[in-house]
Amino acid sequence: MKVFYKKELLQEHLAEITIRASIGFIPTMGALHKGHLSLIEKANNENDISVVSIFVNPTQFDKKEDLRSYPRTIEEDLALLQTIKCDVVFVPSVSEIYDDNINALHFDFDGLEFEMEGKHRKGHFDGVGTIVKRFFEIVKPLKAYFGEKDFQQLQIIKKLVEKYRIPVQIIGCEIYREPDGLAMSSRNVRLTKAQRKEAPFIYKTLMKAKEKLKKDSIQTVIEWVEGEFKKNAVLQLEYFEIAHSKTLKPVRRKSKKASYRGFIAAFAGDIRLIDNIALN
């Protein structure tokens, strides 16, 4: 496994190999867990070499405190990557990526950026678009892998490559869950024991909502989810939405033809957790 800190050196190395090899790219913000490893495994199966980036991207955080407290475990991450097949790891500094201009570009994602996460995390998707586009330019992968836990992000990145004609195939990968159903997330390591115990409530509620939707209306199910969270002393609901899988616009009425998902964002103290499931 080769580790690079400078983009020029990474690019020189990749230029040598890509004449003959296809690159699968897995961008991450570190604090790696089994979910990340499953993305790397998939990339290994589908490409000649895998490149993982570890970079806590400052421009996608709307709150300074969230950026400050985001878990950073680079030693453990590199040790974990040594245990699997991972050809190249890119660990740039903030100045390596942004020089001294730590600002996001502005993107038009045809409205996807204004739904759900976009409403609650101002500028978040401009930051994500900026860094993912930058990484694609540096790494030049054939395929790039993203988890469905950040389903809106996945749709936005698909839109990014379509609009900017970036020749990268975007591969969405199923959510990797703990045995009790909690979606794996780098943020989970910050949960207290009590919060960790309660956190699977998010997935359980999504599953029950899916069941209820078989007979109840959209509005009834939304009110039911909101009511369930009001009774929970540990988790505060930020939003529950039932949205179309492609447009991410709220679903008003059930339809057999449309494909939609349930999305939850909730806080355990100051730790923000998200999850989603297909509802039909």
Distances (CA, A) of 25 to 52, 58, 256: 6, 20, 36
Residues contributing to the site for ligand PAF (CB under 6 A): 27-29, 57, 60, 128, 131-132, 150, 153
Q: How far is the CB of 157 from ligand PAF (least distance, A)?
A: 7
Hey, which residues does 267 pair with through a beta bridge? Answer: 236, 272
Q: Other C-beta atoms within 10 Å of 152: how many? A: 23
Return the H-helix or E-strand segment holding 193: helix 193-198
Residue 28 or 205: the one with the smaller Cβ distance to ligand PAF is: 28
As a whole number of angstroms, the distance between CA 189 and CA 196 comes to 9
Q: How far is the CB of 60 from ligand PAF (least distance, A)?
A: 6
78 touches 86 (CB < 8 A): no
Q: How far is the CB of 97 from ligand PAF (least distance, A)?
A: 10
Residue 135 or 260: the one with the smaller Cβ distance to ligand PAF is: 135
Q: Active-site positions?
A: 36
Residue 148 or 241: the one with the smaller Cβ distance to ligand PAF is: 148
Residue 133 or 198: the one with the smaller Cβ distance to ligand PAF is: 133
Q: How far is the CB of 146 from ligand PAF (least distance, A)?
A: 6
Which ranges of 25-150 does DSSP label H, i.e. alpha helix? 34-46, 64-69, 74-82, 94-98, 116-120, 124-139
